[in-house]
Amino acid sequence: MKKTNAVRFLDSLKIEYQLMEYEVDESDVSAEAVAKKTHLPLEQVFKTLVARGDKSGVLLACIPGGGQLDLKRFSEISGNKKIEMVPVKEIQALTGYIRGGVSPIGIKKRYPVYLDESALKFPLISISAGLRGCQILLDPKSLSKAIGAHISPISRSD
């Protein structure tokens, strides 16, 4: 497997992780599909969303696969009046990653990252390795420390 920027970043910090590869169906890059293919509970598979705040600019939110980003709460926690999701066509230019493969680590430019507090319920969580078809399994505390993530209640389940 080709080393992604996310993997190189973790290696440089000597952070322990496991890689999990799976077959990708390009028509379904959802967290639900990833959870099913990696045999992990959906709430342990975290998706990285790219948003833009009216004061902060670009922000990343890592939330459980089955959760929804609570934009109102996210705005308050991040010091914004309003937050909107970044259009899919802008994601690669901002992060270096494509939709379905956005990782909170190894991104082109450092943006504030918010990790949903539910991650701390698990000894390991799954995040994208920076490309479709590969997940990184790692300790959420190590992830948070490595990227300076804010741990906050930013998701809700509908």
In order of 3, 15, 58, 67, 154, the CA distances from 78 in angstroms are 32, 27, 11, 19, 10
Q: What is the pLDDT of residue 157?
A: 79
CB 114 within 8 A of CB 85: no
CB 16 within 8 A of CB 146: no
Q: What is the pLDDT of residue 90?
A: 96
How far is 136 from 121, CA to CA, in rounded Å?
Answer: 17
How far is 27 from 13, CA to CA, in rounded Å?
Answer: 35
Largest CA distance in the chain: 42
3 state SS of 31: helix
pTM: 0.94
Partners of 62 in beta bridges: 48, 115
Task: Give the pLDDT of the chain (158 residues) as one tens digit per residue.
Answer: 668 899 999 999 999 999 999 998 888 889 999 999 999 999 999 999 999 999 999 999 999 999 999 999 999 999 999 999 999 999 999 999 998 899 999 998 999 999 999 999 999 999 999 988 999 999 999 999 999 999 999 998 76
How far is 12 from 33, CA to CA, in rounded Å?
Answer: 30
How do the domains of the chain map onto residue ranges?
5-13+41-156
pLDDT tens profile 1-35:
668 899 999 999 999 999 999 998 888 889 999 99
Indicate the CATH number for domain 5-13+41-156. Answer: 3.90.960.10
